[in-house]
Amino acid sequence: MNIIKKKYSRFQTRVVNVGDIPLGGNYPIRIQSMTTTNTLDTMGTVEQAIRIIKAGADYVRITAPSLKDAANLEEIKKQLRNKGYNTPLIADIHYTPNAAELAARIVEKVRINPGNYVDKKKFQFKEYTNSQYQEELERIAERFTPLVKICKEYGTAMRIGVNHGSLSDRIMSRYGDTPLGMVESAMEFVRICEANNFYDIVLSMKSSNPQVMIAAYRLLVEYMIRNNMNYPLHLGVTEAGDGVDGRAKSAIGIGTLLEDGYGDTIRVSLTEEPEFEIPVCKSILKRYENKQSISLSEADYHISFNYKTIETSKSITVINAGGGSVPVVILSLQQLNYEVLKELGYHYNETTDKWNVSFSVPDYIYLKNGLVNMKLPGSLRIICDLNFYLQSSSKESLIPLCNVDDYESYELDNSFYRFLLIRSLPPENVIRNLIESHNTIVVLETNEDFLAVRNLILILRDKGIKCPLIVKRNINNDISTDDFIVNASIDFGGLLIDKLIDGIWIESDKTSHSVLNKISFDILQATRTRISKTEYIACPSCGRTLFDLQKTTNLVRSKTSHLKGVKIAIMGCIVNGPGEMADADYGYVGSGIGKVTLYKKKDIVKRNIDSERAVDELIKLIKENGDWVDPT
């Protein structure tokens, strides 16, 4: 599937009416969130729904895990309407078809998860013959069709919401734990809907891993185009977590797809109060108001972007950038001293004359004049302007940054490295030089549109330039913190996900260097391109949750945040347990009031532990499996 996009445009989907707020087509991209209260707590749910609505949500989703919960949706809806709130409600269903059938008669939309709506996951592999597979599909159709008919009768919309970690054993056996399996999981249910002439469908392909999530949505759109389908898309990164991590991961997944033109409604899943999700949604969508992309490339140069055929790396290795290396981080500083380096994670011990280096330190520091009057860590290199470099008597650890005009006008032995700063497509003579170069790292400095930047990068690669490529951007300071995180994450995230760049350089006049460094590594972690810390896959809570997720997540983080590369899932209930934490190394899952069950991958290791000692038992489990290191 070749995508040639020089201007932003949305994939044209059909319109689906959700109450009196339709989505899809040319309607605005809708915002939604989900209550975290117990659904049987009528007034608590109503009050939280009002906070979500006042924050700016177009829809409010409420869990309905049982018939009693589903029945209470009617009272919740009544109370909201009496208070003057007509926002459409969505019932969230997992294992209870009878609850879905009741809820579909009450609310404006129901969400079902095809991985566990009919199937009961046992995480078992079984070889299915074609006839056995067809029998399974007939069983699903028999159980699912009543809901379809109710939705059709009552004018209720439906989201078929696939989660990466809760694919059925049947799908897993035939397609594996893959984006393709996610698409087929949805299509099994879509075909049943279409067989009943029901088309008020919204689709989602959620994962806690933005790489998987993005790949699944792209495959889904490709499938729909081939089969003349155009159902609206609900975008979201599930179990994104909280703070900067949750915002960065969500912005990367959602933003990359919005840049592709996909998405009709979004939800940012944070382990925070649900109304805090709405400003992040607004920050993401702000980029797409009256958006017009202007290409940086030559007007008559046509280049195609094919996400399926992107090579792991089209660049060579220069110093420590490109090739098979992790993306590098560059940071600009006004001055360099031991205190500044300490803030960035470089700790110098004067007694031992050794450096203690953290996992998230910049690889390069740009000093305009390159003046360094101190001992440097062996892994740190200084970038300086060309003029200073040429005049410097000591060039150790210095690498010059030159512009296009300077690139061929000064003489350096080919054994010396250099950075080349470009802002557009270089002249042909420079391109010819770069094609042959083995000592140049290219820095593309731009504040242009994402699509234009991607197009230019593709042109550079298409012309045969294999130098490592770093994108440098200055993020506007006069914006909110959420806007800053969102913009940086989208600007760099999609390029990193698609392996188009070899490093990032974020500048911002009013943001501290330590914050810029942290955000840089948070973006790399979220894209899974450079792991520098523990990753937490934490659900955003809902009415099924069996403990305080925010408090518990913070407690687990306080004990385990030094475990680089370890992924820990913190799930409020079994629905969000093994079914939605497939990407985690360890799972901490609510299994009853005051009880926690621990998982290693998808396997239960310890059941129904008292919550008071559950974190200690988690640490013990991590130690037993050799993943523990003592904090320094």
Q: Is the pLDDT of residue 295 over 80?
A: no
pLDDT at 576: 47
pLDDT at 548: 64
Query: Between β-strands 364-366 and 381-385, what pairing exists: parallel, antiparallel or unpaired?
Result: parallel
pLDDT digits (tens, 9 = 90+) for 64-75: 989 999 999 999
Lowest average pLDDT, out of 265-269, 376-380, 452-456, 628-632, goes to: 628-632
Q: Closest Cα to residue 583, out of 174, 166, 266? A: 166
Residue 456: which residues within 8 A CB-CB, separation 6 or more?
295, 296, 297, 424, 425, 444, 446
pLDDT at 335: 86
pTM of the model: 0.88
Q: Is the pLDDT of residue 266 over 60?
A: yes
Q: What is the mean pLDDT of residues 578-597?
A: 74
For 258, counting Cβ atoms within 10 Å of its Cβ (0-12 exposed, 13-18 middle, 19+ buried), the class is buried
For residues 220 and 587, the model is more confident at 220
Q: Is the pLDDT of residue 602 over 80?
A: no
* DSSP-derived 3-state class of residue 226: helix
CA dihedral sign of residues 442, 447, 450, 455: negative
> What's the pLDDT band for 293 if we cut at 50, 70, 90?
low
Q: What is the mean pLDDT of residues 491-512?
A: 93
Residue type, 427: P
pLDDT at 302: 61
pLDDT at 503: 97
pLDDT at 303: 65
Residues counted in the chain: 632
> What's the pLDDT band for 539 if we cut at 50, 70, 90?
low
Identify whether the C-beta of residue 596 lies closer than 8 Å to the C-beta of residue 609. Answer: yes
Identify whether the C-beta of residue 84 lies closer than 8 Å to the C-beta of residue 46. Answer: no
pLDDT digits (tens, 9 = 90+) for 357-370: 888 899 999 997 76
| Best mean pLDDT range from 284-293, 424-433, 587-596 | 424-433
Residue 85: which residues within 8 A CB-CB, separation 6 or more?
49, 50, 53
Q: Is the pLDDT of residue 257 over 70?
A: yes
pLDDT at 243: 80
d(CA 91, CA 517): 41
pLDDT at 534: 77
Q: What is the mean pLDDT of residues 257-276?
A: 92
pLDDT digits (tens, 9 = 90+) for 16-53: 999 999 999 999 999 999 999 999 999 999 999 999 99
Structure token pair of residue 109: 């939309």
SS3 assignment for 297-362? CCCCCCCCECHHHCCCCCCCCECCECCCCCCEEEEECCCCCHHHHHHHCEEEECCCCEEEECCCCC
pLDDT at 3: 45
Q: Is the pLDDT of residue 311 over 60?
A: no
pLDDT at 347: 87
Q: Is the pLDDT of residue 572 over 70?
A: no
Residue type, 523: I
Q: Is the pLDDT of residue 621 over 90?
A: no
Provide the β-strand partners of residue 399. 383
For residues 324 and 300, the model is more confident at 324
Q: Is the pLDDT of residue 510 over 90?
A: no
Q: Closest Cα to residue 158, out of 205, 204, 116? A: 204
d(CA 361, CA 518): 9
All structural domains of the chain: 30-240+262-269 (3.20.20.20), 309-526 (3.20.20), 535-624 (3.30.413.10)
Please enumerate, as own/partner, the contacts of 316-320 that have beta carbons within 8 Å and a separation of 24 or more: 316/438, 316/466, 316/467, 316/468, 317/468, 318/417, 318/438, 318/439, 318/440, 318/441, 318/467, 318/468, 319/381, 319/399, 319/417, 319/441, 320/363
**CA-CA distances (angstroms) from residue 101 to 137, 149, 152, 160?**
20, 9, 11, 14
For residues 126 and 216, the model is more confident at 216
What is the strand order of the sheet 586-592 is part of?
535-538, 567-571, 586-592, 595-600, 603-610
| Best mean pLDDT range from 44-48, 126-130, 578-582 | 44-48
How many other C-beta atoms are found inside a 10 Å radius of the C-beta of residue 188? 19
Average pLDDT, the chain: 87
Tracing tokens 């078809």 back to the chain, one arrives at: 97
> What's the pLDDT band for 538 if we cut at 50, 70, 90?
low
